[in-house]
Structure 1
Amino acid sequence: MNTNVKVAIGFSGAIVLIVIAFIVVAILQAQPPSPEAEGGPEPGLASAIRDDSHILDDAGEGAVTVVEFLDFECEACGAFYPVVEDLREEFSGQITFAIRYFPLPGHFNSKNAAIAVEAAAQQGQLEAMYTRMFETQAEWGEAQESRAPLFRQFAEELGLDLAEYDAAVADPATLERVESDFDDGVALGVASTPTFFVNDRMVQLTAFGDLREAIEAELDR
């Protein structure tokens, strides 16, 4: 391939990445700030994490705790997903990372996705379904019809017991589990996704590096 062509392709790719980054930052900046951004949880909640919260990484007692309130259909959450995965690897053994459901009402399938992930969690496949949702977000995000059949297909591909999966999806307790995370998020001042808490302090997101800085600040304490 001609060297000039290679340079042009590389330059174009860089422009695309820059544009995507600007779009995500614009989305984050457009989201309303939370009243709890400068402090910890409200007095009624001792922590951003509960005993039944889903832990993806457990670094043990004394570790920095990172909690993400997320919506699987949220484009900003999807954009942050690879950033989070890189940070989980970089700070492995130093941070405990938990996820909590916060399906936004404006997203048609966000609650369906959260229920599917919770149903998978009941069979020990939380992270596998969490990963699948974000890796396939472009295929089903913004759909205006239920994508629950697609999520069931994901469950089958992951080798889940479909009878158990179907029962969990239909069980009101599964929805209640999702909604309990959402209710806690509201009480904590969560108004948009993704919202991160680092050692129970909400992180104000204006750029991808803000989460790293918050983690590093806690590790340096």
Structure 2
Amino acid sequence: MAEPTTTNPAGPGRSRRLLWINLAAIGGLILITVVALLAMTGANTSAAPASQDPATAEVVRPDSHVLGEPGRGNAVLVEFLDFECEACGAAYPFVESLRERYDGEVTFVTRYFPIEAHQNAMNAAIAAEAAARQSAFVEMYRMLFETQAQWGEQSESKAPLFRQFAQGLGLDLAQYDRDVADPTTEERVRADQAEGTALGVQGTPTFFLNGERLELVSADDLTDAIDAALAEG
């Protein structure tokens, strides 16, 4: 997860990570466990300079990645995430449970926000974007989160491992290599970073619902917001 600027080891960043991990561990009780998403301030976002004009920033772009098929209901949930962020990894099964619960109703959108302090966050995002160019974004998204314990929080480049993931997913490796090396792939990731910063994203995961950034205290806050948005439709 993003490293907090405070030197207090029990600061909000650590608390958020531990609460997300507890949330993921509880399994069937996931929807009633406290979700620590409110402590988003103080994250290191120096990799994402605010080069995007806030006045033109949009929560969803035409090229934003949708998990699965768009929902029919009036609810679009957007997550700015870092694949190396432990909080994002712990939140992953919660998001998957929401996708199952609201299948066909809610549109789930993912946007990149790799944190500079995470040595392989950008590599992972580039791997996901390269996979997206072969229509395999969701598959790589899942692979990166489900293997995060293998490669996260390590200083050496895990790009070769991500290439192995691409091979395991059956991607055309020649095309994958070209796309990873293509400067426009990283530019695509950094465009999300810059826009997230312009939108007020300070840490990961950060969620928006129908264009509004959510300040969440509990999982019920998120499901209640989604239900309200669907009811308005």
- TM-score band by shorter chain is 0.7 to 0.9
Contact 2:35 2:216 in 1 (8 A): no
2:52 equivalent to 1:43: no
Contact 2:36 2:216 in 1 (8 A): no
2:118 equivalent to 1:117: no
**Structure 2 partner of 1:182:** 193
User: Are the structure 2 counterparts of residues 200 and 116 from structure 1 closer, same or farther at C-alpha, using a change threshold of 3 Å?
Assistant: same
Q: Quick check: which has more Rg, 1 or 2?
A: 1
**Structure 2 partner of 1:21:** 22
Contact 2:36 2:218 in 1 (8 A): no
Distance 2:130 2:92 in 1: 21
**Structure 1 partner of 2:70:** 58
- Deviation of 1:25 after TM superposition, in Å, equals 6.3
2:159 equivalent to 1:145: no
Distance 2:179 2:79 in 1: 23
Count of residue pairs the alignment pairs up = 197
**Structure 1 partner of 2:97:** 86
More helix by share: 1
**Structure 2 partner of 1:3:** none
Distance 1:98 1:54 in 2: 6
Distance 1:26 1:64 in 2: 20
TM-score w.r.t. length of structure 2 = 0.77
- Deviation of 1:77 after TM superposition, in Å, equals 0.5
Q: State the identity as a percent.
A: 53
**Structure 2 partner of 1:206:** 217
- Deviation of 1:177 after TM superposition, in Å, equals 0.4
Contact 2:20 2:90 in 1 (8 A): no
RMSD of aligned alpha carbons: 2.6
TM-score w.r.t. length of structure 1 = 0.81
Distance 1:214 1:26 in 2: 14
Unmatched segments (≥5 aa) in structure 2: 1-17, 25-32, 44-52
SS at match of 2:56: coil
